Amino acid sequence: MIDRVLVFDTTLRDGEQSPGVRLSLEEKLEIGKQLVLLGVDIIEAGFPISSPGDFQSVNMLAKELKNVTICGLTRAREKDIEVAAEALQPAERRRIHTGLGVSENHLQHKLRMSREQALETGVKAVKYARQFTDDIEYFMEDSGRADLDYVYKVVEEVIKAGATTINVPDTTGFTYPNEYYHLIHGIMSNVPNSDKAVFSCHCHNDLGMATANTLAGVLGGARQVEVTVNGIGERAGNTALEEVVMALFIRKDKFGIETGIDTTQLLPTSRLVSKLTGMVVQRNKAVVGANAYAHSSGIHQDGVLKERSTYEIIDPVLVGAEKSEIILTARSGRHGLKHRLAEIGFAYSDERFEEIYNNFLQVADTKKEVNEDDLRMLVSR
């Protein structure tokens, strides 16, 4: 049976917390519109109490965007919740995302509260937020390093208080996939009222495991993923939207889970976010990197030109790219060169081709890549 996972995009909130990123109101709206086109279910538009600019942008997205839930982040404080509710007021569908830390580390050093005080504060916040909307998400910051029995207790109580989505953040990117799977699975099987809420994976990438952990959480029973475009976010970033979506798509055989994402919008969205945030996407980035569908060695080019699936598990057209690319380098072979010559419409005899190929190898040894101008020069010699 095919199941559905909700995509909660936090590019404009956790993503914008990337050092060096600041988006204007207009830029946030442009990204918001693109996220709707992409088909995300929930947009976390900002943290309304944090600044007048954040309030305005959450408010503007709430006014302008349709067919999507707009979410605002708050601390577990009445004033935060009131301000978020006001910013979200015009939204067709609104969600308040409140919560606080659950690990001993956060309780002791950051919140300076006992477990009981923190639990009471969280429960009160959920009850307070419920007067503004029925859609309440509760985050348990630093769940990845927290005591499980305490996590189970918090989940049970905040669901009783009215939370409808439970966010289980691995705030510091500390967990590994098997552990995160058991965290989600453990909550869902030990908390008596867990069937009353949707569980959400929110992973950070400090050890490069955010995507793997998120997918493990989905296998553990979570049905919401919190992601950012290109994986931007605090420190090493958040889980990359495009990676999770394509992993679920390509490995439908194992996950049996769908998203509402139009995958052909992945690359346009990635490019827009990169342009507006100034966060360059590394060339070898999975799914949306410039090299993700480029082949440079002779062996791979030969395979791909005979049958694309020999070295590509994702058809680039699926993510909105035009086609796979054959990049000519010193490691390329005759097959790749012939392909590129055909692309520029050049016809040749076998004898002439050998001459071009030998010249090509000489040029290739002096350059990182033999481009179209070089090819034209080679054939005109």
**Site residues, ligand KIV (CB under 6 A):** 14, 139, 141, 167, 169, 171, 202, 204
Contact assessment for residue 225 and residue 218, using Cβ atoms and an 8 Å cutoff: yes
Nearer to Zn ion, 174 or 360 (CB): 174
Write out the two tokens for 226.
């919190």
**Span from 8-16, 94-102, 125-133, 373-381 in contact with Zn ion (CB under 5 A):** 8-16
d(CA 250, CA 196): 30
Nearer to Zn ion, 14 or 137 (CB): 14
Long-range contacts, 279-288 (Cβ 8 Å, 24+): 279/18, 279/20, 279/21, 279/230, 279/232, 281/230, 285/230, 285/240, 286/211, 286/240, 286/242, 286/243, 286/246, 287/240, 287/242, 287/243, 287/246, 287/314, 287/319, 288/230, 288/242, 288/319
Residue 13: CB minimum distance to Zn ion, A? 8
Residue nearest Zn ion (C-beta atom): 14
**Span from 10-18, 74-82, 211-219, 356-364 in contact with Zn ion (CB under 5 A):** 10-18
Residue 248: CB minimum distance to ligand KIV, A? 22
Contact partner at residue 141 from ligand KIV, Zn ion, none, CB < 5 to 8 Å by partner kind: ligand KIV
d(CA 102, CA 155): 11
Residue 171: CB minimum distance to ligand KIV, A? 4
Nearer to Zn ion, 14 or 41 (CB): 14
Give how many residues touch Zn ion by CB under 5 A.
Answer: 1
Contact partner at residue 128 from ligand KIV, Zn ion, none, CB < 5 to 8 Å by partner kind: none
Block residue for tokens 């994976």: 201
Residue 44: CB minimum distance to ligand KIV, A? 9
Contact assessment for residue 238 and residue 10, using Cβ atoms and an 8 Å cutoff: yes
Residue 217: CB minimum distance to Zn ion, A? 14
Residue 259 burial class via C-beta count within 10 angstroms: exposed 0-12, middle 13-18, buried 19 and up: buried
Contact partner at residue 139 from ligand KIV, Zn ion, none, CB < 5 to 8 Å by partner kind: ligand KIV
Residue 234: CB minimum distance to Zn ion, A? 6
Nearer to ligand KIV, 73 or 267 (CB): 73
Contact assessment for residue 228 and residue 204, using Cβ atoms and an 8 Å cutoff: no
Q: Could you give the string, one character per residue 340-359, with x where binding to Zn ion holds by CB under 5 A and - elsewhere?
A: --------------------
Nearer to ligand KIV, 162 or 173 (CB): 173
Contact partner at residue 332 from ligand KIV, Zn ion, none, CB < 5 to 8 Å by partner kind: none
Nearer to Zn ion, 14 or 157 (CB): 14
Beta bridge mates, 160? none
d(CA 120, CA 307): 60
SS3 per-residue string spanning 171-207: CCCCCCHHHHHHHHHHHHHHCCCHHHCEEEEEEECCC
Contact assessment for residue 290 and residue 322, using Cβ atoms and an 8 Å cutoff: no
Residue 14: CB minimum distance to ligand KIV, A? 5
Q: How many CB atoms lie within 10 A of CB 9?
A: 30
Nearer to Zn ion, 71 or 330 (CB): 71
d(CA 31, CA 53): 16
Measured in whole angstroms, how far is the alpha carbon of residue 5 from the centre of its chain? Answer: 13
Residue 26: CB minimum distance to ligand KIV, A? 25
**Interaxial angle between packed helices 210-219 and 177-190, expressed in degrees from 0 to 180 and rounded to the nearest 10:** 30
Q: Which element (helix H / strand E) includes 148?
A: helix 148-161
Nearer to ligand KIV, 211 or 263 (CB): 211
Asked if 14 is part of the footprint of Zn ion (rule: CB under 5 A), the reply reads yes
Contact partner at residue 228 from ligand KIV, Zn ion, none, CB < 5 to 8 Å by partner kind: none
Residue 238: CB minimum distance to Zn ion, A? 6
Q: Which of 90, 96, 27 is nearest to 63 (CA)?
A: 90
Nearer to ligand KIV, 143 or 301 (CB): 143
Residue nearest ligand KIV (C-beta atom): 169
- Interface residue list for Zn ion (CB under 5 A): 14
